[in-house]
Structure 1
Amino acid sequence: MKIISFEFYQKQDDKVKDKIKYVLELIKQVEKVPEKFLKHLTGTNGLYEIRIEYKSNIYRIFCCFDKGKLVVLFNGFQKKTQKTPKNELDKALILMNNYFQQKNEL
Structure 2
Amino acid sequence: MIRQIIFHGDYFIDFYQSLDAKVKTKIQYVLELIKQVERVPVKFLAPMSGYEGLYEVRVEYQSNIYRIFCCFDEGRLVVLFNGFQKKTQKTPKEELEKAMRLKNEYFKLKGK
Q: Which amino acid aligns with 2:45?
A: L
- The CA distance in 2 between the partners of 1:3 and 1:16, in whole Å, is 19
Match of 1:69 in 2: 76
Match of 2:7 in 1: 3
1:18 corresponds, among 22, 25, 38, to 25
- The CA distance in 1 between the partners of 2:98 and 2:50, in whole Å, is 15
Which 4+ residue blocks in structure 1 deviate beyond 3 angstroms? none
2:44 corresponds, among 37, 47, 53, to 37
- The CA distance in 1 between the partners of 2:47 and 2:38, in whole Å, is 15
Q: Once the 2 structures are TM-superposed, how far is the Cα of residue 51 of structure 1 from its aligned partner?
A: 0.2
Contiguous gaps of at least 5 residues in structure 2: none
Contiguous gaps of at least 5 residues in structure 1: none
1:79 corresponds, among 79, 82, 86, to 86
Q: Which has the higher contact order (CA 8 A, sep 6+)?
A: 2
How many corresponding residue pairs? 105
Q: What are the residue-to-residue correspondences of 1:82-97 with 2, within 5 Å?
A: 82-97=89-104
% same residue:
67
Q: Once the 2 structures are TM-superposed, how far is the Cα of residue 72 of structure 1 from its aligned partner?
A: 0.5
Q: Once the 2 structures are TM-superposed, how far is the Cα of residue 43 of structure 1 from its aligned partner?
A: 2.5
Question: Normalising by the residue count of structure 2, what TM-score does the alignment of the two structures yield?
Answer: 0.91
